[in-house]
């Protein structure tokens, strides 16, 4: 029996991209449910009661059942389609290890940093400096890890890779990192993922009205 999917998302959401990409890589389609994140709908009690008590995007509906938190959803899809799970009982805990690291560190900080840098009017420079310092450390850890292997958890791609690339595939102007210049192993890994059959860029998978971009060239230089 086939499962029908609806993805509640907004186009700039790297967390939504993780699920949209996973579905595409598994040969699945989904109905896109554009959500007015910029307009604040996910902060309303109505939306939280009706869609996600955690107040977060993305939400994936599977045959009408709403699921949230990308890591368990990715693992569930991996098991269902027998893809990107990790090869064996050594690799699967490794997949989990990097999923936790991604949610806590890489995606956690990158999502906030990029959002503030590009999509809010006046980011606080002190917060931006703090986030940037943390990210420089995490991206260094990732670069070092990838300098010695093809994929995060083993010799083949897993949902750990799909989670960790979530915010790194967007246009480089948004977060302000040019990996080709600063993190060559990370860039090569992103290119390997982009060569997988079914890969698409974030804004091709997540259409619809975009958030206002506030970043100017002067601000880009300052932050």
Ligand X SMILES: N[C@@H](CCC(=O)N[C@@H](CS)C(=O)NCC(=O)O)C(=O)O
> In the complex, which residues of this chain contact ligand X (CB under 6 A)?
13, 15, 42, 55-57, 69-71, 103, 111
Burial of 103 (0-12, 13-18, 19+ CB in 10 A): middle
CA–CA separation, 146 and 157 (whole Å): 12
CB 181 to ligand X: min, Å = 27
CB 120 to ligand X: min, Å = 13
CB 70 to ligand X: min, Å = 3
Residue placing its CB nearer to ligand X in the complex, 71 or 162? 71
Residue placing its CB nearer to ligand X in the complex, 75 or 139? 75
CB 71 to ligand X: min, Å = 6
Q: Are 21 and 15 in contact (CB under 8 A)?
A: no
Burial of 185 (0-12, 13-18, 19+ CB in 10 A): middle
CA–CA separation, 126 and 218 (whole Å): 17
CB 62 to ligand X: min, Å = 15
Residue placing its CB nearer to ligand X in the complex, 17 or 179? 17
CA–CA separation, 145 and 210 (whole Å): 34
CA–CA separation, 3 and 24 (whole Å): 14
Name residues whose C-beta falls within 8 Å of residue 20's C-beta, 6 or more positions apart in sequence.
Answer: 7, 9, 30, 205, 206
Residue placing its CB nearer to ligand X in the complex, 48 or 187? 48
Cis peptide before 58 (omega within 30 of 0): yes
Pairing of strands 5-9, 59-62: antiparallel
CB 162 to ligand X: min, Å = 12
Residue placing its CB nearer to ligand X in the complex, 103 or 185? 103
Residue placing its CB nearer to ligand X in the complex, 42 or 118? 42
CA–CA separation, 174 and 219 (whole Å): 12
Residue placing its CB nearer to ligand X in the complex, 28 or 103? 103
CB 206 to ligand X: min, Å = 11
């Amino acid at each position: 029996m086939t499962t029908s999917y609806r993805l509640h998302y907004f186009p700039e959401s790297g967390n939504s991209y993780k699920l949209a990409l996973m579905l595409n890589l598994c040969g699945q389609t989904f109905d896109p449910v554009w959500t007015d994140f910029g307009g604040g709908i996910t902060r309303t009690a109505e939306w939280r009661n009706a869609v996600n008590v955690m107040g977060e995007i993305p939400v994936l509906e599977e045959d009408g059942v709403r699921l949230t938190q990308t890591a368990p959803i990715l693992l569930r899809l991996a098991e269902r389609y027998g893809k990107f799970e990790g090869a064996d009982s050594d690799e699967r805990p490794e997949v989990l290890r990097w999923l936790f690291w991604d949610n806590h560190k890489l995606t956690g900080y990158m999502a906030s940093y990029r959002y503030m840098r590009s999509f809010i009017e006046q980011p606080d420079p002190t917060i931006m400096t703090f986030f940037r310092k943390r990210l420089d450390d995490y991206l260094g850890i990732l670069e070092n890890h990838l300098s010695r292997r093809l994929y995060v958890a083993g010799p083949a791609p897993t949902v750990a890779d799909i989670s960790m690339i979530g915010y790194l595939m967007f246009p480089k102007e948004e977060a302000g990192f040019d990996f080709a210049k600063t993190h060559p192993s990370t860039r090569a890994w992103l290119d390997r993922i982009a060569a997988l059959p079914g890969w698409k860029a974030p804004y091709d998978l997540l259409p619809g009205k975009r958030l206002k971009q506030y970043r100017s060239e002067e601000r880009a230089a300052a932050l």
